[in-house]
Amino acid sequence: MSRYRLTIEYAGTRYSGWQKQTNARTIQGELERAIAEATRRRDFEFQGAGRTDAGVHALHQVAHLGLGVRVPPESLRRQINDNLPHDINVLGIEPAPARFHARHAAVARTYLYQVSRRRSAFAKPYVWWVKDAVDVAAMRAAAAGFAGMHDFRSFSDDDPDDKSTDVLIEEVTIAEEGDLILIRVGGSHFIWKMVRRMAGVLVEAGCGRLAPDAVPRLLVQDSGLPARVTAPAAGLFLERVFYAGDERRLPLVAACAVPAIARSRARP
């Protein structure tokens, strides 16, 4: 069986997340349909590096595809894209080792969350507009509390009795680009709603409603606060999936969907 590694970008606004579902439109479902139409086969293996929730986007999702036939990668990419809706795009396809598994082989992932300081006529599906004044220094102080291995059960709806809620956070970086506040969270893996709740807590600290040193307490106590301040899905992007040997030091920049906000400094 021929194996391929796909790099995919998508706007998740119109979809019920990545994972294929029987009665909902999903990213995986659309891709599998397009692959079947492009190859005229249904006996293939297709799996992504991770699941994104409804409304969440991806800049570089990775998936593997196992096919019973060998197809030139660029020809395959073009044929798949010809059968995809406008908001899903295969950026690249390359041959992969027979044992390559998009999820199991991943060593780290980064997510990007975009907070807008102003209202936008164009970017609503890709940002969270926060109307209050936001202190980025306070956000950075709060972000320091997330570094390291922690139990994120209060930051997820996953049941810790069913799966581990321990996650190693390697990076929480916050930058400003025009009217955008960019939050990058990097770690070993992520659990359901975790990054959105981290973003919500950081914004609470930035708005002065939460002390920056409160994060360590939220990580060791059962608290309903992270759930109450869950950030909207619109601002969240799966930024990168990393594998052994990949360059990990990447610049933190806004997603291409909102360049007008990143360039401006207008107030509401």
> Which 8-state DSSP code applies to residue 231?
P
Stretch (H or E) spanning 183: strand 180-187
Return d(Cα 136, Cα 123) in angstroms, integer: 21
Q: How would you classify the pairing of strands 108-116 and 236-242?
A: antiparallel
Residues contacting 210, CB < 8 A, separation 6+: 142, 201, 204, 225
Q: Hey, which residues does 9 pair with through a beta bridge?
A: 89
Tell me if residue 53 is catalytic: yes
Return d(Cα 58, Cα 239) in angstroms, integer: 6
Catalytic residue (choose from 43, 53, 157, 166): 53
Return d(Cα 175, Cα 89) in angstroms, integer: 27
Q: How would you classify the pairing of strands 180-187 and 236-242?
A: unpaired
Amino acid code (one letter) for 38: A
Residues contacting 234, CB < 8 A, separation 6+: 13, 55, 124, 125, 126, 127, 128
Other CB atoms within a 10 A radius of the CB of residue 130 amount to 17
Other CB atoms within a 10 A radius of the CB of residue 65 amount to 25
Stretch (H or E) spanning 218: helix 215-220
Catalytic positions are 53
